[in-house]
Structure 1
């Protein structure tokens, strides 16, 4: 039986004189799973820490230092980097070193949550130095000294990870920002210690306090209690609703009249007459005299030589506690919060 003649070998790419064509593209099998990407949120409502008097107990709680600065959220996108405040203001131009470091992070897209701080000679955050580096309250000067202490990761490489538990988010964050770094973005490290012991050490070192976080919790906006802050010295924001005149004090300010919120109203919580210097008093007086009104935002009782103002300025007040009738004890003026920082006025329960 005669075998059929063998076909001559075909060129590797077919006929050399024929145009090259790829095979028709196969349609995706609808049963085949595929990894979807989440749109990056333009802005995130932040998870806030609930103030507590003592650290919580239990193995699920992780502890960090409480950083005294401005809360920031860094958005790294293919188009560039944005740095937003808690109130949603774009402060990218104020933190060039942080923005430059964000561009170098080994990921294409990410949202980091953290705090901008300026450290003193002992490595402690100094809020006054931070404000000074920015040109004072409301300043518009780029800070070369500010760094960001990153403590959470909200979005990572195309995926919104807010529903993931904290321990997993931290694991990814530590891959981006390794512990012990000296760059403009540094990791706020978890500290393996009992909460009471860590609080005592933090207070001895002159830090503001500590933060406790539930390792199993998702990233939830607002004050849900899954993050808790415990302060060495109590310090909160109170609305300035007026001042008492004095010819013997800096700026002619005897005492500031302060208010907290209760529901949708302001409640008078006392006054503060210490903590000013000549510069801060002059700044306060200039700002308050532009906000003068006839009627106070809260009932202050009878006040001699009182000037009332619209409650638009928020003062950071350090205090030792509360009296039985709901007034501040051992209070001292610490500074004005920047409006863009969106630091809330203290809420009375």
Structure 2
């Protein structure tokens, strides 16, 4: 989908006294000697807007819908050709996302704050949190790209009070066609239809946003998320080594849920990790092997037990009567 044209978004004539009426917030031709003369300073950090979980997508023309990417929420702060990448809690992770930082620094802007999700895409174009986490455990990800979905500041102008529709128009105007920064496309049609497509393609879900609202830090009902699958955190208690002609590092991971002071077996997770991720997990598991199963009385043929020191985020479709997860998929380690 082509990016929208870069057009100026003008302020209302009844703007507050600290806003110049009819001044374009998207770049326009200016005297190079005056460019930036009246710019406001770049914010050090803006607490991100977080979507509220709902059971089904909202309907109505005031809503647009996007794919919910499975990665790390980050913002790019750009000024004077330099970029700082900050996490949702404000930590500086610039060195962990060097490719995104370099792409942001090349944007044709004096200053900007771009909100988005850092992801690694698999061969089907789906975001893989496990792959990203493995890269970050090794001090950085040059493969990660940023799916940008909001623009909070541009060329010395704060935009967070502007409606999303105007912020999105401005965002589409600064992102180049070939970059490690990609525009997260929005869909103005039926949220239910997009949600169905997301679930059919085994994506995490969608996020729906009010076009007519400003950006509000913290949990907000102007942004709603609908998830295709359930997810929770479980204790890793062991693993099944690979077998057969080609011995993969892992066949599956054994997990349990906490029940007070006890652990109860929750089954095995055999999907969601590539061979590369599996090898990194196996390295960690080998360091914490133990002879005794952490779940009292549990016996699983061929299983290797580990100390219950690690926790895994697991997505699943349901729970059997025996308490084991159905269609479980590994999403990453809880750090």
TM-score by length of 1: 0.65
Tell whether 2:200 aligns with 1:200: no
The CA distance in 2 between the partners of 1:102 and 1:282, in whole Å, is 32
Deviations along 1:171-203, one digit per CA (max 9) or x if unpaired, are 22122226xx23221211211321111222333
What do you get for the CA RMSD once the two structures are aligned? Answer: 4.2
Contact 2:119 2:129 in 1 (8 A): no
Tell whether 2:178 aligns with 1:182: yes
- Equivalent residue for 1:109? 111
> What's the offset of the Cα at 1:259?
4.7
- Equivalent residue for 1:127? 128
The CA distance in 2 between the partners of 1:130 and 1:292, in whole Å, is 24
Contact 1:130 1:146 in 2 (8 A): no
The CA distance in 2 between the partners of 1:78 and 1:252, in whole Å, is 47
- Equivalent residue for 2:233? 238
Q: How many residues in Structure 1 have an aligned counterpart in Structure 2?
A: 292
- Equivalent residue for 1:160? 158
The CA distance in 2 between the partners of 1:56 and 1:67, in whole Å, is 19
The CA distance in 1 between the partners of 2:326 and 2:100, in whole Å, is 37
1:147 to 145, 149, 153: 145
Structure 1, gaps ≥5 residues long: 1-32, 294-298, 340-349
Inter-CA distance 259–182: structure 2 relative to 1 (3 Å threshold):
farther
The CA distance in 1 between the partners of 2:93 and 2:151, in whole Å, is 19
- Equivalent residue for 2:308? 309
The CA distance in 2 between the partners of 1:209 and 1:61, in whole Å, is 16
Inter-CA distance 82–199: structure 2 relative to 1 (3 Å threshold):
same
Inter-CA distance 75–63: structure 2 relative to 1 (3 Å threshold):
same
The CA distance in 1 between the partners of 2:221 and 2:237, in whole Å, is 35
Structure 2, gaps ≥5 residues long: 1-16, 20-37
- Partner SS, residue 49 of structure 1: strand
> What's the offset of the Cα at 1:128?
6.2
Inter-CA distance 77–266: structure 2 relative to 1 (3 Å threshold):
farther
> What's the offset of the Cα at 1:57?
1.5
TM-score by length of 2: 0.68
